């Protein structure tokens, strides 16, 4: 396979809120709007295998870099939390691009942003595709359904990154004192840290995804969401993740994921009141949209195809 091309798609820029400049891909203008949101340690590049097939299926595909990530600017207001990310995405797609409704697909941190968007802006998210993220913290709801609680996230054997990024980001950044070390740290999450199923990321792929994180300020900013979750950084707003969501949801799960709790598919299905799935995608882990791109693209296409047909008349 050829090495990924960082210039495969044209990057656009828009200033959304509080002087944050968001970099984004926009392909297939005129199709049904579909917002794809990356997580960590990702940028918009994680969607490179999905953009063209989804455009061909009739979607206008919109893929931003979250504030402080990739080619987007740092945030002058200093907020890098779920609510800030969600408000930026809404400002871009609704206010700047003019879409009164859209579908959304996301995993990891982006999955929590997706969940927030559906509750924060009722009716704006028509449908959502959710995969491999932390389930919403609805402990009482899960307990009432007989779903046992997970151990604290920091006790998971692969959660050392979570502890350092959330509690000691400055110390960690001091250790990663060169672009090569920063990229190597991020690259490990596509390799031996076992976030992904084996064999899905070549050395060129890893370099492609890690390259934007050579920038020390961007890497530091990307950890801020973990500081917020651990209570070590103020948030712009309380995230809208504290109740079940009525948004129709396709729930996917890459089971070869050693970061997300194995309870994710059961809990997410309980949190999404109108849910298809969970559908387990074999030989896939955390980066499902890249690892099993064809299956992911087909699932999205069929879950949303009536919206495309209606949109195109």
Which DSSP string do the residues of 135-161 spell out, in sequence order? PP--HHHHHHTTPPPPPPGGGSTTTHH
- Tell me the Cα Rg of the chain: 18
For helices 179-187 and 203-210, angle between their N-to-C axes, nearest 10 degrees: 120
* Overall size of the chain counted in residues: 313
Evaluated on CA atoms 279, 283, 288, 291, the torsion sign reads negative
Long-range contacts of 190-196, Cβ-Cβ distance < 8 Å, separation of 24 or more: 190/41, 190/287, 193/158, 193/161, 193/258, 193/259, 194/158, 194/256, 194/258, 194/285, 195/158, 195/257, 195/258, 195/259, 195/285, 195/286, 195/287, 196/256, 196/257, 196/284, 196/285, 196/286, 196/287, 196/291
pLDDT score, position 246: 98
Give the CATH fold of the 11-312 domain.
Answer: Rossmann fold (3.40.50)
pLDDT score, position 113: 98
pLDDT score, position 39: 96
Would you give the distance in Å from CA 114 to the centre of its chain? Answer: 8
Residue ranges covered by each domain of the chain: 11-312
pLDDT score, position 160: 82
Evaluated on CA atoms 69, 255, 229, 157, the torsion sign reads negative
pLDDT score, position 154: 56
The contacts of residue 107 (CB under 8 Å, 6+ apart) are 39, 130, 131, 132, 133, 286, 287, 288, 289
For residue 251, the cross-strand partners are: 130
pLDDT mean by block of 10 residues, the chain; 313 residues: 88 96 98 97 98 98 98 96 98 98 97 98 98 94 90 68 92 96 96 89 96 97 93 93 97 94 94 96 97 98 96 87
Structural contact between residues 20 and 71, judged by C-beta atoms closer than 8 angstroms: no
pLDDT score, position 229: 87
């Amino acid at each position: 396979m050829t090495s990924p091309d960082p210039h495969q798609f044209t990057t656009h820029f828009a200033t959304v809120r509080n002087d944050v400049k968001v970099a984004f891909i926009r392909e297939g203008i005129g199709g049904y709007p579909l917002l794809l949101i990356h997580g960590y340690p990702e940028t918009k590049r994680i969607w490179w295998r999905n953009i063209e097939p989804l455009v061909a299926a009739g979607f206008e595909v919109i893929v931003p870099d979250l504030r402080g990530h990739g080619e987007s600017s740092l945030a002058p207001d200093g907020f890098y939390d779920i609510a800030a990310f969600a408000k930026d995405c809404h400002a871009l797609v609704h206010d700047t691009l003019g879409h009164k409704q859209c579908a959304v697909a996301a995993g990891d941190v982006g999955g929590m942003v997706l969940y927030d968007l559906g509750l924060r802006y009722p009716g704006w998210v028509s449908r959502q595709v959710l995969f491999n993220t932390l389930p919403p913290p609805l402990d009482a709801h899960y307990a009432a359904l007989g779903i046992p609680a997970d151990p604290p996230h920091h006790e998971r054997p692969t959660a050392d990154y979570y502890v350092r990024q959330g509690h000691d980001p400055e110390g960690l950044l001091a250790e990663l004192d060169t672009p090569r070390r920063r990229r190597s740290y991020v690259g490990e999450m596509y390799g031996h840290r076992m976030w992904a199923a084996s064999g899905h990321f070549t050395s060129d792929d890893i370099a492609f995804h890690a390259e934007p994180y050579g920038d020390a300020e961007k890497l530091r900013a990307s950890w801020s969401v973990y500081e917020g979750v651990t209570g070590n950084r103020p948030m712009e707003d309380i995230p809208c993740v504290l109740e079940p969501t009525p948004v129709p949801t396709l729930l996917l799960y890459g089971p070869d994921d050693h970061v997300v709790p194995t309870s994710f598919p059961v809990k997410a299905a309980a949190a999404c009141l109108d849910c298809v799935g969970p559908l387990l995608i074999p030989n896939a882990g955390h980066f499902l949209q890249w690892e099993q791109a064809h299956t992911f693209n087909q699932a999205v296409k069929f879950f949303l195809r009536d919206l495309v047909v209606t949109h195109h008349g």
